[in-house]
Structure 1
Amino acid sequence: MKIAVFPGDGIGPEVTREAVRVLEALDLPGLTLFEGDVGGAAYARHGHPLPPETLAMAREADAVLFGAVGDPACDGLERHLRPEQAILGLRGELGLFANLRPATCQPGLENMSALRPQIARSIDLLIVRELNGDVYFGDKALETLPDGRRRGWDMMSYAEDEVRRIAHVAFRAAQGRKGRLCSIDKANVLETSQLWRDVVSEVAGEYPNVALDHMYVDNAAMQLVRDPGRFDVVVTGNLFGDILSDQASMCVGSIGLLASASLGERATGYGTFGLYEPIHGSAPDIAGEGRANPMATILSAAMMLRHSFGREAEAARVEAAVARALADGVRGADLGGKADTVSIGDAVIERL
Structure 2
Amino acid sequence: MLIALLPGDGIGPEVITQARAVLEAVCGDRLTFEEALVGGAAYKAKGHPLPPETLDLAKRADAILFGAVGDPDCDKLERRFRPEQAILGLRKELTLFANLRPAKLFPELADASALRPEVAARIDLVIIRELNGDVYFGEKGMRTTADGRREGYDIMSYNEDEVARIARVGFETARARGRKLCSVDKANVLETSQLWRDVVIEVSADYPDVALSHMYVDNAAMQLVRDPGQFDVIVTGNLFGDILSDQASMCVGSIGMLPSASLDANQKGLYEPIHGSAPDIAGQGKANPLATILSAAMMLRYSLGMAAEADRIEAAVAKALASGARSADLGGTVTTSQMGAAVLTAL
TM-score range, shorter chain: over 0.9
Q: Counterparts of 1:138-217 in structure 2 under 5 Å?
A: 138-217=138-217
2:320 matched to 1:325?
yes
Aligned residues: 347
1:7-65, Cα deviation, whole Å (9 max, x unpaired): 00000000010000000111434311000010000000000000011000000000000
Q: Counterparts of 1:65-144 in structure 2 under 5 Å?
A: 65-144=65-144
**SS of alignment partner, residue 284 of structure 1:** coil
Indicate if the aligned counterparts of 2:181 and 2:234 stay in contact, CA closer than 8 A: yes
**SS of alignment partner, residue 311 of structure 2:** helix
Once residues 135 and 128 of structure 1 are traced to their aligned partners in structure 2, the CA distance between those partners, rounded to angstroms, is: 17
Once residues 235 and 317 of structure 2 are traced to their aligned partners in structure 1, the CA distance between those partners, rounded to angstroms, is: 27
Task: Give the % identical residues.
Answer: 70
TM-score (norm 2): 0.99
Shift >6 Å, 4+ stretches: none
Indicate if the aligned counterparts of 2:258 and 2:273 stay in contact, CA closer than 8 A: yes
Indicate if the aligned counterparts of 2:5 and 2:34 stay in contact, CA closer than 8 A: yes
**SS of alignment partner, residue 122 of structure 1:** coil
Once residues 328 and 136 of structure 1 are traced to their aligned partners in structure 2, the CA distance between those partners, rounded to angstroms, is: 41
**SS of alignment partner, residue 287 of structure 1:** coil
In structure 2, the partner of 1:10 is 10
Shift of 1:327: 1.2
**SS of alignment partner, residue 85 of structure 1:** helix
In structure 2, the partner of 1:269 is none
Q: Counterparts of 1:249-264 in structure 2 under 5 Å?
A: 249-264=249-264
Shift of 1:155: 0.5
**SS of alignment partner, residue 220 of structure 1:** helix
- 277, 281, 287: which one pairs with 1:292? 287
Structure 2 unaligned segments of length 5 or more: list them.
none
In structure 2, the partner of 1:280 is 275
Shift of 1:146: 3.2
1:91-142, Cα deviation, whole Å (9 max, x unpaired): 0000000000000011121111111111011100000000000000001001
In structure 1, the partner of 2:21 is 21
CA RMSD of aligned residues (A): 0.7
Once residues 28 and 240 of structure 2 are traced to their aligned partners in structure 1, the CA distance between those partners, rounded to angstroms, is: 37
In structure 2, the partner of 1:307 is 302
What amino acid does structure 1 have at the position aligned with 2:310? Answer: A
Once residues 181 and 29 of structure 2 are traced to their aligned partners in structure 1, the CA distance between those partners, rounded to angstroms, is: 38
Once residues 29 and 207 of structure 2 are traced to their aligned partners in structure 1, the CA distance between those partners, rounded to angstroms, is: 38
Once residues 332 and 229 of structure 2 are traced to their aligned partners in structure 1, the CA distance between those partners, rounded to angstroms, is: 27
In structure 2, the partner of 1:338 is 333
What amino acid does structure 1 have at the position aligned with 2:165? Answer: R
- 334, 343, 346: which one pairs with 1:348? 343
Once residues 27 and 302 of structure 1 are traced to their aligned partners in structure 2, the CA distance between those partners, rounded to angstroms, is: 11
What amino acid does structure 1 have at the position aligned with 2:292? Answer: T
Once residues 339 and 227 of structure 1 are traced to their aligned partners in structure 2, the CA distance between those partners, rounded to angstroms, is: 32
Shift of 1:265: 1.4
